[in-house]
Structure 1
Amino acid sequence: MDKKIIFFIGAMFIFCSFPALAVAPSDQKVPGRPSEGGVSSRMIHPEEQRPVLTIMPREIDLGLIKPGSTALGEFKLSDLTTGSMECAASCPDGWEVISGKALPVNVSHEPVSLRVELTIAELLEKARAGKSAPPAYAAKMKMQADGKELICQKSLKAGQHRKAIALTFAGGPMNIFVDFRIQPDQTSPSISLNPQRLDLGSQPPGKILSKKIELTNKGRERLQWSIIDSREAGKSLPPAEPKQERYFSFLQEELPEPGKYLIPERLKDAMELTGKWAEKNGYPLMKSGAGSLKYRFQGTGISIFLKSHTPEGNCVVYLDETLVTLPEEMFGEWEKKEILIAEGLTDGPHTLNLVIRGGALEVEGVKVFGREIQRGPKGWITVFPNSGTTLSEIDYLNVKVDTTSLTPGGYGDDILFQTNAGEEAAEVYVSIIPDAAHKVLDVYLYSSDSDYLYTSDPQAEARRLYQNRFVKEGIAFRLFAPQTPGTTPFHRWYNPSIRDHFYSYDRTGGRKRLDGYIYEGSIGNIATSRMTNTRELYRWFNPATGRHYYSTQPKVPPALKKYRFDGIAGYVR
């Protein structure tokens, strides 16, 4: 019997106070002890420490489980204080207990393990309704802690599942979650969606967007499927925690050079690549050699979707320049895996860095937690055709998303497929932004003997650039269009005597003395505080020459080592 162990990086802390354990001070006089100055004296009892239960993680994903195999997962429970507490774990609702009762767990300051072992039977349970009904698999869940165990079972259909394990203690009940997907045998029908997650990017309101999904049958028997309205039918798959999450796809739909992956325009502000990245079906693929993928995000956590991985693959992950240790079980050969990197982070800017040192690795995208996502109105997503029968062919589904009634914000919803082999869902995400916020200006850097000129309109300044022999360095950053909410004009001055350009969103120059400087106008709008998908624009100053340099990088190039940090000029794309 095959076994696999699933680990997760990160932790979610669940704080539970126990009021009954806290002794409140008395407001009554103490017999035999007179009060002083007419004020009642108090007997002060030292307050006992209240146990604080932590669970790491709150949810585990056992991944894909084939019939006849077992998957293992583990929760760590501990008390942040020096005390201890008793709690009990129960089987998920609807599961039959076949051994033991509620599993007692003695939780102390040292972490205690609650292990979960899930086995899917190799033989199918044929449905009474006949061969056309979805087959069911006998699933057995074993929970172990402190040398004791609890075993329960239930018949489950193939497909995605999310089960809640109830923990009961003095502070009240709470749930921890186990996610897994049962893969049917090769004979039974099995739905496959490509892509399973649609990222429609950032769009102005009033558009009707269109995407395609390929639906195939991975089994040999006929697949019958239809799309149902989860709002009316009731969705059998509860939304995974955290509920606020946004998926970002790395798909490059328009490949300027087949076989070579280039960062899509929508990701250029957030994504950086090093090494020779190829493309496979539009996704970044590192075939061999070394390279890295860096992704900047704003939120409280992140997971990464990998489409494939070879046995000789060797990669490490850094989060905010701190190494995240991945267990060996995360490696090997597999297809389509979501890896939770971190959750429960401080809400703010973070950087994920995936470093590949060998082997092949194909990356699909990331999911960022802590993003405010709301569902669109009923009928805002339509699919044609919405039902069918599939044997070995590919069915192409046209997905239309109507944004005409959406106000600015983040939106997400699921397309729920009901089949004769279980249920499946495709995720859809889109961000609606105001028209002005949708427009950004490319700002180009030109240099001439340590004079750095930034402009969003090189054609208008072509003569000046030519006469002063400026050399084009490329796009330095992006500013916002005028009237963009949360931004202000970014002004430029020039001092011909020292050949220096100075930039500031303060029309008076802020703390900068502008003697000898000539005002040249605004080159675009800049954010004065951090906005979504923005980054710092650093100002550097050379005391010897009086010249300035601006960059989104926190360090200057070696050639500019005499420049010192002079503050943050604003926030740019």
Structure 2
Amino acid sequence: MIRKIMFRKKYSILIIIFVVIGCENPFSSDEEAPSVLITFPSDGSTVTGVISVTADASDNESVVKVEFSIDGKLKETDTETPWSYLWDSGDYADGKPHTILAKAHDKEGNFDSLSVSLITVIVGIPQLSISPITLPFEDNLTQLTVSIKDSGQDTLRWEMSTEEDWISLSSSTGSTFKETDLVIVTVDRTNLQPGNYIGIISVTSNGGDQELNATLSKNSNPTLSVFPQTFDFGESSLRDTLFVSNSGTGSLEWSITDDQDWLTISKTSNIIDSGADTVLVNVNRAGLAHGDHMAIISIKSNGGDQEIIAKLNIDSNPSLSVSPQFLDFGETTIQDFLVIRNIGTGSLEWSITDDQDWLTSSLTTNSTTTSSDTVYVTVNRSGLAGGEYTGNIFISSNGGDNDVSVGMKVSNPPVLNLSATSIDFGLTGTISNFSISNNGGETLIWNMNQSENWISILPDSGTTTTETDIINVTANRDSLAPGNHLGIISLSSNGGNQDISVSLNIESEPILNVSPQSLDFGETELQKSLSITNQGAGILSWTVSDDQDWITISPTTGTTTTETDLVNVTVDRTGLTGSGFTGSITVNSNGGVVNISVGMGVSEAPVLDVSPLIIDFDSTLTDSAFTIENSGGGTLTWSIPIDSLPSWITLSPSEGSTTTESDTVNVSISRFGLTSGEYSSKILISSVGDGGETGVIVEMVVP
């Protein structure tokens, strides 16, 4: 008998569960099936990370096990209350619905629709959120803080990098879920020439990518620069180092004061022309009360003032608490847990060891302040002879030690073992087999039945101790409609129960499906992809062609059954002018024909525009400038070959790019060492692509 249980959720997903009603055990009068209900998580909820899936199960006699499946795949068989399964949902983090199924069994193999509980949940995905994305290091500022957090629904893993030598990062990698990660960005002006600088900081993550812009200016006056901007001495540190430097020019005169008696500073004033002064900052914890303490260090100078915050913490004593003091796994329990708490104050540092090979702990070391740590303890009975076993778990910490006793029994009942859990007859097969063996000690008694009348099994019952029973399975394809056919062979025994899935396919016609139905490359994109799938059956043979010279397709032919074929479509704008181009791609196959429309834009080229074209320094001027603009479209990238200029001309910058803004190039001349007379030279400005090339004539007179 087959029952179809249909669930319609807001995601418009149809879930069909085949439940096989087994024959009652001929040796028992118990005919009542168990019932089960998933209690956590709730149906339709969103989950993240590692969660405990729990269920309530009941029976008129006893429930022997509950099976937990994710998306139709068996993940855990729990044989002891409470019925639960630890699921790492991070492996399914795609923002899509996933099904959780719990299936209860009693010792007689009774089963009906109430023996299955099914829910649908969504596993969240991470999303990168950064603030700020612009870092202006104005005046004498040397440090700014960037916050990274996850605005999605799963753990965000990120990496941060930069190619600029004058930028350093306090952290380059991290992960976050609900908390905010802070990265301190520090700039060093020491080796930079006076002028304006822009640096790119790249952030990549499993929740998206982002680029940050860091800008700074270096002037020609003395500028106070200190590092770090904060001191955190924590619970034990007694000394740290402060660096005072001049990121400008000239002489920097500085002095330091603080507002707390527990702070001592090794150097309180000095004068710096270049390099950095090293200042030792010492703390004295003697006599300080428990808790957090803060001080302000003030640095004053003729290049600006700064304040630095210094913090420390006076901690008290942690104390270890462990419960329970004894773990009894009996004959069937595989996993139990310990709870470790800090009932004192401060940070409790603990570690776990044990004295038995059959014991495993999920955590062996950790630290906790006010929260509790759960340690899952697992026993492995494999290879152990029947009998009673004892062991000990030792917990050591800076807040005391504790020993937990462990007890376990090993029985030797029959254990059902199958050589296969699925049979696939494919397109042509009709005969297959599998074997039943006993991995336990006592006699295994088994029987089976099938859900579909096109499946035949022989024999359908038997017993075994050490021998292997061979089961022949036959599929009758007569009168089956085209498509996939599924069935289940249900095997019950006194050594466990098992379902064997049986499938076959009756071939039908292929059907062509292509997506997307149109491709728009805009003005900049060069490549997109088409997906070709077979929504029918059999082998789909396809070819692809286009009607435009600027379209290239690869590959142009292929075959598919159930897999997806990707076709890369590339456009070439070289030599094309105008605002828009259209074309068509045709996919022919033995399963139909699909036409794909293609659109592409061609943007306007950049044009180099320089003003003025002549700079006359006469006999007295030494500094001037000219501007570079883009009078066309797109981005104009320009450069000046400074190696070709005479030594009496210097300029900055020598390269750049612009869209609509103006770039200013500062030009200076030096008459030193030159003989009297008139001098003239040409500064050549060239651009990448079709922007053009021009020159600025520089003239001067040496008296």
TM-score by length of 1: 0.24
Q: TM-score, normalised by structure 2?
A: 0.20
* Greater strand proportion: 2
- Which structure ranks higher in relative contact order (CA pairs < 8 Å, sequence separation ≥ 6)? 1
